[in-house]
Amino acid sequence: MDWILGHLDDIGGYTVQHAWLAGLPLLLGLAVAVPLGWLARRRSWLYTPIVAGTGLLYTIPSLALFILMPLVLGTRILDEENVIAAMTIYTVALLTRTVADALGAVPDDVVAAATAMGLGPVRRLLTVELPMAVPVIAAGLRVAAVSNVSIVSVAALIGVPQLGVLFTDGFYRDFLDPIVAGLVASALLALLFDLAIVALARVLTPWHRTPAAARSGSEAPS
């Protein structure tokens, strides 16, 4: 306990770094997953290759991916870009299917009405389909956020500082305090991400917060 109180600055710094390495890839991954998911929906023959292909990326062991990144990107092994890129790949793996299925769940009559009113494909995506897909995409993002917070700690093994460093430190020194501190900080960070996504989704979906019509309700006077 004394150790934790004495190292609050370090723990705080690692937490901020951890949030950055887990959080930025969420945004980048979403930015990649949306066009991919959209493409999978627009061209039905692309659905299986895109969704299955991106899904497979999640099976790559994280340590291997962190080590492979410098070879692919031409970065140095200690650069945080490696971690950001790798985490973005995992986010894309988790989100592409979610985005494709969320877009697919937009009712046909709504899509038909939008098309018939003269909305082009891109405008329809941005102003009708994506807004309606927010609740489902947000659910996928929550999974990806927790997954990212958890996986990022592995990057301690290639020397990129974040909360994972506390685990390796505790392990090498056979000392429990840093490990406990890392676990608690990770859990709190995951919770924070989760709450932020839920709050954002709520703000973006005002129509979900209004009570439905009484089914027995009478018709408007004519």
Partner 1 sequence: MIRFEGVTKEYADGTTAVGGLSLNAPTGAITVLVGPSGCGKTTSLRMVNRMIEPTAGRITIDGEDTATMDPARLRRGIGYVIQHAGLFPHRTVVDNVATVPRLLGWDRRKARDRSMELLERVGLPAELARRYPHQLSGGQQQRVGVARALAADPPVMLMDEPFSAVDPVVREQLQDEFLRLQAELGKTILFVTHDIDEAVKLGDQVAVLRVGGRLAQLDAPGRLLADPADDFVAEFVGRDRGYRGLAFRPAPPLEPREEPTVPLGAAPEEVRRVTADWVLVVDAGRPVGWVEPRAIDAPVTTDRLHRGGTVARLDGSLRAILDAALSSPSGRGVLVDDDGLLLGTVTASAVVAALDGVPRTDPVEPPEPVER
Smallest distance, partner 1 to C-beta of residue 208, A: 9
User: Looking at 117, 122, 172, 174, which residue binds partner 1 (CB under 8 A)?
Assistant: 117
Using CB under 8 A as the binding rule, whether residue 211 contacts partner 1 is answered as yes
Q: Which of residues 131-170 bind partner 1 (CB under 8 A)?
A: 131-132
Task: Give CB contacts under 8 A, 24+ apart, made by 212-219.
Answer: none
Helix (H) / strand (E) element for 137: namely helix 130-152
Using CB under 8 A as the binding rule, whether residue 45 contacts partner 1 is answered as no
Smallest distance, partner 1 to C-beta of residue 126, A: 12
- What whole-number distance in Å separates Cα of residue 179 and Cα of residue 151? 16
**Cβ pair 144, 26 in contact under 8 A:** yes
User: Looking at 77, 115, 187, 191, which residue binds partner 1 (CB under 8 A)?
Assistant: 115
Terminal CA-CA length for the chain? 73
Residue with Cβ nearer partner 1 (174 or 219): 219
User: Looking at 114, 136, 138, 201, which residue binds partner 1 (CB under 8 A)?
Assistant: 114
Using CB under 8 A as the binding rule, whether residue 174 contacts partner 1 is answered as no
Helix (H) / strand (E) element for 197: namely helix 176-204
Q: Left (φ > 0), alpha (ψ -120 to 50) or beta: where does 38 sit?
A: alpha
Q: 73: which 2 tokens? A: 């990107």
Using CB under 8 A as the binding rule, whether residue 190 contacts partner 1 is answered as no
Smallest distance, partner 1 to C-beta of residue 135, A: 10
Question: Rg for the chain (alpha carbons), in Å?
Answer: 22
Smallest distance, partner 1 to C-beta of residue 213, A: 5
Number of residues that bind partner 1 (CB under 8 A): 29
Nearest to 147, CA basis, from 86, 79, 100:
86
- What whole-number distance in Å separates Cα of residue 36 and Cα of residue 51? 9
Q: What DSSP designation does 47 have?
A: H
Residue with Cβ nearer partner 1 (48 or 115): 115
Smallest distance, partner 1 to C-beta of residue 107, A: 8
Residue with Cβ nearer partner 1 (19 or 103): 103
Kindly list the residues in this chain that would bind partner 1 in the complex (CB under 8 A): 107, 109-110, 112-120, 128, 131-132, 205-207, 210-213, 215, 217-222
